Amino acid sequence: MYNRENVKRIKIAIRVIGLLLIFVPTIILSIFSVQISKVKEENRNLLVQNSLLTSDKSDSQELEYGSNGRVILDVYSDMVVPWRSEPVYATKEKTIYLTFDDGPSSKTKEILDILDQYDVKATFFVTGTEDEELLPLYKEIVDRGHALGMHSYSHDYDLIYSSTEAFLADMYKIYSLIKTQTGTAPVLFRYPGGSTNDWLEGNAYQKEIINEMEARGFIYHDWNVSSGDSSYYGLEAKEIHDNVINGIGSKTRSVVLMHDRARQGETVAALPSIIEELKANGYKFDKLTTSTKPFRFE
């Protein structure tokens, strides 16, 4: 028998169930996301603490000084450049500085072979790896006459830009790895994302991080030409080639950003034509050194 009150109650119940189906999963997801964020933050803090605890502090009871004489934080006392001249040399010749970020990778040897083929020297800003097959590549890059700089160990923006201590902990890992693999301490480095990336720029630690690395005597390099080979959509070799050539335009001195990663097949494919065209246009190629005046974002 039809009962208006029962029908009304059923409609209300359906609405309530519908609202619950919408809002309950949302609330659960929000709670879950908060918990994940807390766990990630705890893991980051633990990583930094572990790095600080395992660093050699035996000779760092007093504040150290970098090559420019400013006081630095009382950690990683061996990660200091004791002395270097100021990097002021800027060639007046038409010069290209090819730089490769994020290696070593399965593409590194292909890149090195192409550079050898054209008698070109370049600069590799490397990250960390535990892959036994890739570890020898740090030394091979140096042995083939190229410059080797730091690009952080983890390349984890959220981690390394979370504090000055976190940045130093990560940099110390790649600094130590390069020293172990090559026998030489690196001086050059590139900030992941460049010195004005969204994580670093405006960050409460930005000035502190930059001042800290400068105090230790390290030299960072940005770029003024991008190949675009790290595009999310993935570019073909022709597009990478055109980006480099058009980006250089009539510049006398160009620092070109490229990448050395397993997925950079198109970068490898574009490299010969880029070198050939630039050489035909009268450019020479060189690697960055501690004397080279850096190009930096304003």
Q: What is the pLDDT along the chain (298 residues), one digit of tens a residue?
A: 555 665 566 666 566 566 556 655 556 555 555 454 554 455 444 544 454 444 444 343 344 556 565 667 889 999 999 888 899 988 889 999 999 999 999 999 999 999 999 999 999 999 999 999 999 999 999 999 999 999 999 999 999 999 999 999 999 999 999 999 999 999 999 999 999 888 888 788 888 899 999 999 999 999 999 999 988 778 999 999 999 999 999 999 999 999 999 999 999 999 999 999 999 999 999 999 999 999 999 7
With contact defined as beta carbons under 8 Å apart, do 225 and 267 qualify? no
pTM: 0.80
Residue 130: the pLDDT is 94
Domains of the chain plus CATH, in order, are 95-285 (3.20.20.370)
CA distance 186 to 150: 7
With contact defined as beta carbons under 8 Å apart, do 122 and 99 qualify? yes
Residue 35: the pLDDT is 54
Residue 56: the pLDDT is 43
Residue 52: the pLDDT is 42
Residue position matching structure tokens 């990560």: 170
Backbone angles phi, psi at 293, to 5 degrees: -65, 125
Residue 173: the pLDDT is 98
Backbone angles phi, psi at 109, to 5 degrees: -65, -35
Task: Count other C-beta atoms under 10 Å from residue 6's C-beta.
Answer: 10
Residue 195: the pLDDT is 92
Residue 26: the pLDDT is 59
Residue 252: the pLDDT is 95
Helix, coil or strand: residue 53: helix
Residue 61: the pLDDT is 38
b/e per residue 189-213 (b: at least 16 CB within 10 A): bbbbbbbeeeebeebebbeebbebb
Residue 14: the pLDDT is 66
Distances (CA, A) of 29 to 26, 40, 41, 159: 5, 16, 18, 24
b/e per residue 66-91 (b: at least 16 CB within 10 A): bbeeeebbebbbebbbeeeeebeeee
Supply the residues annotated as catalytic: 101, 259
Residue 22: the pLDDT is 65
Residue 60: the pLDDT is 39
* Token digits of residue 260: 């050395």
Residue 7: the pLDDT is 54
